[in-house]
Structure 1
Amino acid sequence: MKTSHKIGWRVSEFWQSTMVEFFDCIEAQNEMADEGSDTGAPSGSEMNRLIAEYGR
């Protein structure tokens, strides 16, 4: 029941939930975990720093 613990549900809530409720909860948890993270391409200055640090 690691998943139910991670999303803050008691075991009984997990087993009583529908698949839609479960996946809605998982999606919301993933969105909250992603807030503020920048997954875009690195800027030119970031690329220069990475090349300098790790080479070509």
Structure 2
Amino acid sequence: MSHRLHGRPRSPFRWRRRGKRGSRQSGGVAKEDPFPWRQWMRIGIGGLKWRPADFWSSTMTEFFEAINGHNDAQGGETEKSTAAPTENEMAALLARFG
């Protein structure tokens, strides 16, 4: 049975709100902060005006270059912090977040 919502098939999955990520504590010690997906989504979808599909299908290089291009177009300075991560930084991210 295919459900339709506004002409598009509706996902059979139901979204559940599970509370704030990163707010759980184990043994009285706060867990490590999760990867900053929400902040990155705000930049990509809100600031760059990307569709969610464009955000999720972009590579990290495309994402950071889009930020640099946006900043250049707005007359801002390109900061080193917006550059794509180096190999060592990427390895650290993969080790931390899998």
Give TM-score, length-normalised by structure 2: 0.33
Structure 1 stretches of 4+ with a deviation exceeding 3 A read none
Report which of the two has the higher share of strand. Answer: 2
Rg (Cα) greater in structure: 1
Among 10, 21, 26, the alignment partner of 2:62 is 21
Report which of the two has the higher share of helix. Answer: 1
Gaps of 5+ in 2: 1-40, 77-98
Report the number of matched residues. 35
- For residues 12-51 of structure 1, the aligned pairs below 5 Å read 12-34=53-75
The sequence identity of aligned pairs, in percent, is 37
Q: RCO higher in 1 or 2 (8 Å CA, sep ≥ 6)?
A: 1
Gaps of 5+ in 1: 36-56
